[in-house]
Structure 1
Amino acid sequence: MAVPAERVSYRFAVLLFNCLLTFGSYFCFDMPGVLQQQLQGNLTCPNGTHHNSTGRNGTLECVEGLGMTPAQYNLLYAIYAWTNAVVVILAGFLIDKLGNHFGVFVFSLLTVLGSSLFALGSHFKGSPYLLPMMLTGRLLFGSGNGSLTIVQNRITAFWFKGKELALAFGLTLSFSRLGSVLNFFFTQQFEAKFGMQWTLWGGSLLCVLGLVSALTVSVLDKVGMKQLGLDGIIQQESKKVRIQDIQHLPLRYWLLVLTIMFFYNGVFPFVADASKFIQDKYPGYSQQAAAYIAGAVYDSSLVLSAAVGILIDYVGLRGVFAVGCATLTLPVFALLAFTFVPPLVSTIWLGITYSFAAASMWPSIPLVVPQATLGTAMGLATSVQMVGVGLSNLIVGHMLGTKSSELKIPLWRWQQMMIFMLANAVACIIASIGLNVVDKKQDETLNRTRKGAPMGQDRDPADAAQLLEDETRTEGSVS
């Protein structure tokens, strides 16, 4: 017997498959971070290998490489970010106009095609086709994955707004980061046993899982909206959406977007290079151990995201949490830049602040923009975020060097990178303080506590019809 859409179990079934949308794609996104040595070999060792790691006996081992420079390697992340910056604006608008069902299928398919082309490019070692193919693969992959996150957030916001919104966002983040965590734990071992090509193709296979989940959540979302009698209302509201609506987005939204951008400027570029940084600065770490430590950022997020989501759902104070996250990130990069404190302390610390930031910043967007334009708002926020991350990847790549990979990147270059991360954290603090000031002058939607506002008496999804008609602002806190 089918479960009625108004039941709690139905929306959590939607959430389950919605979470699985990005599991495989996030696994693939950070694979270059684990395989950095293999990608950056300068082809000077016999058979195209590169002395770039330390064996158990303290001697140098040859690690097979594709010949990328640090700048070319960071370009793999930069082109992903830039593609997001361009595509997600249009993607968010198209999702608002054409619906979730269009978005989940098309963007999941793009992640499969992009990851497959990236894996195929690795077969052209020593060929002029290698870098263009792998960059094109990352371009297609970025077009799908960034846009897929938008439709994922849109589905989550629809089914959980006024209920367990931060918890639902935290769980989707946890599943995404589970992919990243498993990548940092198993990719290097898999590569050592089966080689780079089979490893990359395995990542593509995980993206196929996302495509299957996309088809499932599309059916559940469509059937559920039809049972609730909202499919016609949503179609009518979608027809009203115009790209010009961007100019009507409130100041709080833009300050929130800047806060998100500056925070992620310090997280993603750091994780992309963290594995090699740990090996270059701290003695005695193998490639596998360094990957584990770098992945601790996502380990912490995986463990904490759901609990942090419940906490923020209960206490509110999203703007305050945003300032706190940015401020507490400063010591992380200071420790990495100027001390030899074990790097695991810093990566776990960054993972904790990242968990609170993700659970407080992204779920705040549905609270300050109308539901009918949420896809456009999410797309634009992702675009600005990825512009910042892409530029940060480029800046970091040039700081670390544009010539062929060395045995070790000089420590002073790594220190420059960490100072750049510190600068982004300071900018995040300034933007988040501005966000709190504006929120206080208005209706304190973001910082409304459980005692300070009606906490959403666990409304039925059918009440979303009212939200779709709200053209000025959304409700305050969620329970």
Structure 2
Amino acid sequence: MAEAAAEKAYYRFLVLFFNCLLTFGSYFCFDIPSVLQDQFQGNLTCLNGTHPNGTEQNGTAGCVEGLGMTPEEYNLLYAIYAWTNALVVIVAGFLIDKLGNRFGVFVFSFLTVLGSSVFALGSHFKGTPYLLPLMLTGRLLFGSGNGSLTIVQNRITAFWFKGKELALAFGLTLSFSRLGSVLNFFFTQQFESHFGVQWTLWGGTFLCALGFLSAVTVSVLDRVGMKQLGLDGVIQQESKKVRVQDVRHLPLRYWLLVLTIMFFYNGVFPFVADARVKMAQVVADREHVGNRSPDDFLEDYVGLRGVFAVGCAVLTLPVFALLAFTFVPPLVSTVWLGITYSFAAASMWPSIPLVVPQATLGTAMGLATSIQMIGIGLSNVIVGRILGTKSSELKIPLWRWQQMMVFMLANTIACIVTSIGLNIVDKKQGGTLNRTTKRSLPEPLARQPGDTAPLLNEGEEEGSIN
């Protein structure tokens, strides 16, 4: 019998290509406030003209015309996104497990388009009481879609690359998402200087709409592929068995992995959101370069995901210490952070499918994202308080930045503690995370109906692909 197209390598990489494009535009949109922080917090009007760089030729501080937000209101744009994720992604993950990937990609892609549209619309109401409520509503809708869309994206990737190039596929997916961030950091400021804040935000909405078209394509490919593999009906039947109460059977190493992810991202996301634009550009650039295939091939063939998690946390420790207590140029620390982040992302998130079964991966990813976003949301609020809340004044005292770095340092120390605990528990339970992924599998694992089993009952060994 001829081999079905879905069983060939080119088909799964075709699925991966369009799957990668799902979040390209939404990640571009997500980081626009970071690049346009000066404009978001700038004055409503400038009597002596607008100075986008915040300086005049004589070196004195100039006026930046913008939306007039305070630092607290600005950080609230990121906090509301994080809190929305924290609430929505748990339900979204469960619904994806129950109703399937195709339901998820349509609904959540549409929410990113709707949210980014409302966010852009809100910018037209600067100087009115409607500005902040509209923009927060837009971020709420956008967060409902983007965080949940990432879960669908990871679930599709895990299914098509289970037992194969799993870390590579996760890394490429993340790279395409971060490519949106990179292009945002490179081009958004220039685009805004020519067309203004409002049209810049509508441009981000357009990219989200292109992501919706990718969602349609990947949905068709996923449907056709599953039918050719004879698994479409099986997965639907097994998904009906997924129950909310099965969450209590998630293993201890899953929870330690989730806490490790949360504490690590508590340092990275608020830093990128609030750091000066030039510093953020360096971080984003290293994320894109670092998340390409070398890291991911290393994870696929060497394994040692738990060890990499500890190593990344330990190596991140000096980043915020240098920024807080020394006069080392910030460029050094930001490049350093980009490198450690790229390895952390390639080791932490792909570890989740190794410790939970395929059928409940959406629920597990949703819960992990929820806890991550709760941490990031609280961190953004705390950082907003630290940096000042009383005016939209762009000048922030140096001692406030130092306190922010100390807060990041504390999160990194907590990440080290949880990642060490993760390795200890994993070793006692078979060492799945640190096993050499490729070489421990004599043949690529076929996608069996058993892969779709619900969460295991108490007393059974945790699911893994090894």
Q: State the TM-score, normalized to the length of structure 2.
A: 0.95
Matched, 1:78 2:98: no
Instruction: Letter of the 2:298 partner, please give it.
Output: L
Deviation of the 1:46 alpha carbon? 2.3
**Structure 2 residue aligned with 1:208:** 209
Write out per-residue CA displacement over residues 397-453 of structure 1, whole angstroms, 9 at most, x where no aligned residue: 0001111122410111110000000000000000000000100111110011359x6
Deviation of the 1:466 alpha carbon? 3.2
Instruction: Letter of the 1:413 partner, please give it.
Output: R
**Structure 2 residue aligned with 1:467:** 451
Q: Conserved in 2, the CA contact under 8 Å of 1:269 and 1:393? A: yes
**Structure 2 residue aligned with 1:391:** 378
Structure 1 consecutive aligned stretches of length 4 or more whose deviation exceeds 4 Å: 47-52
Q: Conserved in 2, the CA contact under 8 Å of 1:55 and 1:61? A: yes
**Structure 2 residue aligned with 1:142:** 143
Distance 1:311 1:346 in 2: 24
> Which segments of 5 or more consecutive residues in structure 2 lack a partner in the other structure?
none
**Structure 2 residue aligned with 1:304:** 290
Write out per-residue CA displacement over residues 66-125 of structure 1, whole angstroms, 9 at most, x where no aligned residue: 111000000000000000000000000000000000000100000000001000000001
Deviation of the 1:53 alpha carbon? 1.6
Deviation of the 1:476 alpha carbon? 4.9
Instruction: Letter of the 2:405 partner, please give it.
Output: M
Which of the residues 378, 388, 391 maps onto 1:404? 391
Instruction: Letter of the 1:355 partner, please give it.
Output: S
Which of the residues 292, 311, 326 maps onto 1:324? 311
1:41-440 equivalences under 5 Å are: 41-43=42-44, 45-46=46-47, 53-55=54-56, 58-275=59-276, 291-305=277-291, 306-440=293-427
Distance 2:371 2:54 in 1: 37
SS in 2 for 1:458: coil
Deviation of the 1:327 alpha carbon? 0.5
Deviation of the 1:56 alpha carbon? 5.7
Instruction: Letter of the 2:290 partner, please give it.
Output: L
Matched, 1:458 2:444: yes
SS in 2 for 1:265: helix
RMSD: 1.9
How many pairs align?
459
Q: Conserved in 2, the CA contact under 8 Å of 1:42 and 1:404? A: no
Q: Conserved in 2, the CA contact under 8 Å of 1:107 and 1:144? A: yes
Q: Conserved in 2, the CA contact under 8 Å of 1:52 and 1:408? A: no
Write out per-residue CA displacement over residues 259-307 of structure 1, whole angstroms, 9 at most, x where no aligned residue: 00000000000000012xxxxxxxxxxxxxxx24312222112112122
Q: Conserved in 2, the CA contact under 8 Å of 1:92 and 1:378? A: yes
Q: 1:407 to 1:446 in 2, by over 3 A?
A: closer
Q: 1:11 to 1:413 in 2, by over 3 A?
A: same
Deviation of the 1:55 alpha carbon? 4.4
Deviation of the 1:155 alpha carbon? 0.1
SS in 1 for 2:62: strand
Distance 2:327 2:46 in 1: 31
Deviation of the 1:176 alpha carbon? 0.3
**Structure 2 residue aligned with 1:286:** none
Write out per-residue CA displacement over residues 14-33 of structure 1, whole angstroms, 9 at most, x where no aligned residue: 00000000000000000000
Q: Conserved in 1, the CA contact under 8 Å of 2:4 and 2:228? A: no
Distance 2:371 2:60 in 1: 45
Distance 1:29 1:456 in 2: 42
SS in 1 for 2:424: helix
Deviation of the 1:41 alpha carbon? 1.7
SS in 1 for 2:54: strand
Residue identity over aligned pairs, in percent, reads 78
Instruction: Letter of the 1:467 partner, please give it.
Output: D
Deviation of the 1:473 alpha carbon? 2.9
Distance 1:125 1:267 in 2: 30
Write out per-residue CA displacement over residues 149-201 of structure 1, whole angstroms, 9 at most, x where no aligned residue: 00000000000010000000000000000000000000000000111111000
SS in 1 for 2:188: helix
SS in 2 for 1:445: coil
SS in 1 for 2:124: coil
Instruction: Letter of the 2:340 partner, please give it.
Output: T
Q: State the TM-score, normalized to the length of structure 1.
A: 0.92
Q: 1:3 to 1:23 in 2, by over 3 A?
A: farther
Deviation of the 1:59 alpha carbon? 4.1
Q: Conserved in 1, the CA contact under 8 Å of 2:263 and 2:375? A: yes
